[in-house]
Amino acid sequence: MTITPESDWLDQVHWDDRGLVCAIAQDAQTGRVLMVAWMNREALMKTVQMQQAVYFSRSRNRLWHKGEESGHTQHVEEIRLDCDGDVILLKVVQQGGIACHTGRESCMYQRLEQDHAGHKWVSVDPVLKDPALVYAGYDSTSQKP
């Protein structure tokens, strides 16, 4: 009898030389790409356990439970892996409708446009909430998801 170790699915992810994999969060309803972050093995395990997105913050060098400061957690409905095993796609319900630290729905808010002077990146999506309020206004003791 062959027993499949529960960690097989984690071993099938192609972690890079830093032990990370690229993770895309996509709105489960609208299909909008909300953000891209990184996961290590522990982040992916915790994401599955909690059914909420947990990333690995490269700048802070620690696990980052998305929404831990803002309250803007991501409930994970589905997890996919790409053909090469090096990209994770999360289909999420975005708490508060704001994924970006700038207070916008999505981090992908700069569109390449062209005018007589050439190309430029233009911010085309509205700020839904002042980022100062996003972080100052969240009381994690009363608003835990």
Residues that bind its own copies (CB under 8 A): 4-6, 8-9, 12, 22, 24, 26, 30-33, 35-36, 48, 78-84, 87, 89, 100-102, 104, 107-112, 117-121
Distance CA 52, CA 12 (A): 21
* Residue (63 or 107) nearer to its own copies, CB: 107
The DSSP secondary-structure symbol of 7 reads T
Distance CA 145, CA 130 (A): 21
State the DSSP H helix or E strand holding residue 55, giving kind and residue range, or none if neither: strand 54-57
Compute the least distance from the CB of residue 105 to its own copies, in Å: 12
**Residue among 79, 53, 56, 57 at smallest CA distance from 66:** 53
DSSP 68-114: TTTS--EEEEEEEE-TTS-EEEEEEEEGGG--STTSSS-S--EEEEE
* Residue (78 or 143) nearer to its own copies, CB: 78
* Residue (5 or 144) nearer to its own copies, CB: 5
Written as one letter, the residue type at 102 is T
* Residue (119 or 144) nearer to its own copies, CB: 119
* Residue (22 or 50) nearer to its own copies, CB: 22
